[in-house]
């Protein structure tokens, strides 16, 4: 490409934009340095819309092109999933998404709209986030029946009333406090939103007759070293305890970091690079699993479609999305600096700041008591030999401590419950029911 561009410059035909016909994740021949130089030369890097985006532009004579994002250039090769199963899951059904204004929640809403849901309920407690996703869908999918519901998942009666009015068939529970450091400093808020909020949504889903409820979980729930991960592990256990063999089907989907989500490392690095650096990395050996927002949402829908036809058994199912190989955060920082057209260590410095409380050098996707079995393309099912269920009664003390704002006692009670779930400690009264899946 360098030779071709040099010739074009010599002939006074230097391009103002380059349209890539292949997916950005498949641009294996181009390095981050080369792409960075193109952007520095003022060349716009454009791509055609994806299949998901195309369906929002039916009947248009011209295909809308858009800029390739940094997230797409950093992503692994895109996956191709069977859309028929997801269409069968969503089309003509009423869908409710909690945390609808968040990164994953909003993308789930977009894709649910794409697959022509009969009605979509957008539930979020952030006024701005809810307004933005509602406005966006009003513009891109004007024919979609939808309702924006400003409801806090902590408020059980409001959640129940919303579900009763909306009567969803499918519920995707993406509402959560997710930032490790913030939840570490505010464990009471983490418990009330991530644990009690999940219980409230699960109860409302069953009471309103929903066919399925899916919890969006995280790899930080595996052997959690921080409060956020512990609350999500407890949320998974809450979901597992809801399944009683009939009625609403419950499941959880666990995956790693999402490229470009609000507050994640990519937008932070972007803003640091725009300011001229330094780019801050907590540890030179830190590594994380990454996928793009659309890919994560597609796989959540795919895993849910896999679960949809299974109406047997007494156990909620826990799915694991195939995350590929972990990415070193230091490599990610260097790549992003190169993509900006600058040189790491010369134009932009990288500064090591040290691990924050609760942070690990690497994340795992499976706990010591778990194994995974393939169940669909790019989706695995987690089978646990020590899946202790936590009932609502076990959460009474934890909720009371959180409501009182007792930080130390909440942290202690939370990790005590997680230790019981992981089989590290015997279950306290009331007795926890052991479910052996394998």
Question: What would the DSSP string read from start to end of 359-376?
Answer: --SS--SS-TTEEEEEEE
Do 424 and 395 lie in one domain? The reply is: yes
- Which mean pLDDT values do the consecutive 10-residue runs of the chain (438 residues) have? 67 74 62 71 72 49 62 62 85 97 94 94 97 96 96 98 98 95 96 97 96 93 93 93 82 83 79 91 87 84 77 72 82 84 87 85 80 81 70 86 95 93 63 33
Tell whether 372 is covered by a domain: yes
Tell whether 8 is covered by a domain: yes
So what's the pLDDT on residue 366?
Answer: 81
Tell whether 32 is covered by a domain: yes
Active site residues: 220
Do 210 and 91 lie in one domain? The reply is: yes
The domain tally of the chain equals 2
Do 372 and 236 lie in one domain? The reply is: yes
Give, as one character, the DSSP assignment of residue 56: G
Out of 16, 48, 68, a domain closes at 68
Out of 17, 44, 68, a domain closes at 68
Q: How far are the Cα atoms of 70, 73, 111, 258 from residue 66, in angstroms, in the given order? A: 13, 14, 18, 21
Do 425 and 323 lie in one domain? The reply is: yes
Do 98 and 53 lie in one domain? The reply is: no
Do 22 and 171 lie in one domain? The reply is: no
So what's the pLDDT on residue 431?
Answer: 34
- B/e letters for 272-289, b = 16+ CB within 10 Å, e = fewer, are bbeeebebbbbbeebbbb
So what's the pLDDT on residue 230?
Answer: 96
Do 63 and 84 lie in one domain? The reply is: no
Tell whether 266 is covered by a domain: no
Do 155 and 301 lie in one domain? The reply is: yes
Distance (Å, rounded) from C-alpha 222 to C-alpha 120? 32
Do 58 and 88 lie in one domain? The reply is: no
Do 63 and 90 lie in one domain? The reply is: no
So what's the pLDDT on residue 437?
Answer: 35
State both tokens at 262: 């609000």
Domain range for 423 is 80-258+291-328+368-438
CATH classification of the domain holding 247: 3.40.50.720
Out of 68, 98, 113, a domain closes at 68
Do 101 and 194 lie in one domain? The reply is: yes
Say if strands 317-321 and 249-255 run parallel, antiparallel, or are unpaired: parallel
Do 12 and 91 lie in one domain? The reply is: no
Q: How far are the Cα atoms of 22, 45, 388, 438 from residue 69, in angstroms, in the given order? A: 14, 9, 43, 43
Tell whether 16 is covered by a domain: yes
Judge if pTM exceeds 0.95. Answer: no
Tell whether 343 is covered by a domain: no
Give strand ranges (E) for 329-416: 350-352, 370-376, 379-384, 387-388
Tell whether 300 is covered by a domain: yes
Tell whether 264 is covered by a domain: no
């Amino acid at each position: 490409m360098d030779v071709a561009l040099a010739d074009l410059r010599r002939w006074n035909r230097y391009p103002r934009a380059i349209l890539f016909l292949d997916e950005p994740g498949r641009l294996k021949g181009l390095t981050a340095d080369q792409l960075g130089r193109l952007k520095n030369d003022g060349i716009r890097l454009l791509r055609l819309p994806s299949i998901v985006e195309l369906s929002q532009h039916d009947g248009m004579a011209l295909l809308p092109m858009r800029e390739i994002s940094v997230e797409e250039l950093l992503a692994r090769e895109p996956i191709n999933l069977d859309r028929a199963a997801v269409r069968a899951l969503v089309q003509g059904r009423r869908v409710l998404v909690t945390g609808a204004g968040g990164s994953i929640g909003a993308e789930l809403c977009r894709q649910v709209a794409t697959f022509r849901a009969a009605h979509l309920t957008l539930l979020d407690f952030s006024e701005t986030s809810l307004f933005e996703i509602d406005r966006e869908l009003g513009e891109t999918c004007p024919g979609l029946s939808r309702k924006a519901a400003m409801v806090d998942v902590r408020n059980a009666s409001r959640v129940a009333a919303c579900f009763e009015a909306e009567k969803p068939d499918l519920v995707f529970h993406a509402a959560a406090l997710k930032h490790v450091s913030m939840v570490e400093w505010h464990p009471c808020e983490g418990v009330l939103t991530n644990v009690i909020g999940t219980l409230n949504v699960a109860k409302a889903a069953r009471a309103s007759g929903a066919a399925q409820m899916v919890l969006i979980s995280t790899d930080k729930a595996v052997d959690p070293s921080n409060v956020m991960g512990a609350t999500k592990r407890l949320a998974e256990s809450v979901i597992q305890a809801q399944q009683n063999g009939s009625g609403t089907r419950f499941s959880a989907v666990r995956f790693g970091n999402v490229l470009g989500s609000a507050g994640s490392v990519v937008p932070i690095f972007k803003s640091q690079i725009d300011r001229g650096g330094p780019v801050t990395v907590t540890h030179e050996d830190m590594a994380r699993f990454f996928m793009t927002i659309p890919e994560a949402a597609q796989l959540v829908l795919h895993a849910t479609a896999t679960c949809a036809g299974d109406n047997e058994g007494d156990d909620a199912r826990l799915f694991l999305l195939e995350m590929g190989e972990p990415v070193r955060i230091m490599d990610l920082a260097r790549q992003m600096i190169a993509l900006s057209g600058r040189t790491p260590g010369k134009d932009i410095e990288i500064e090591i700041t040290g691990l924050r409380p609760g942070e690990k050098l690497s994340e795992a996707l499976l706990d010591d008591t778990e194994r995974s079995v393939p169940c669909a393309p790019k989706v695995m099912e987690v089978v646990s030999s020590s899946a202790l269920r936590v009932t609502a009664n076990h959460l009474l003390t934890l909720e009371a401590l959180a409501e009182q704002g007792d930080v130390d006692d909440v942290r202690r009670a939370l990790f005590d419950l997680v230790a019981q779930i992981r089989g590290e400690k015997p279950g306290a009264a009331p007795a926890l029911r052991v479910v052996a899946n394998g």
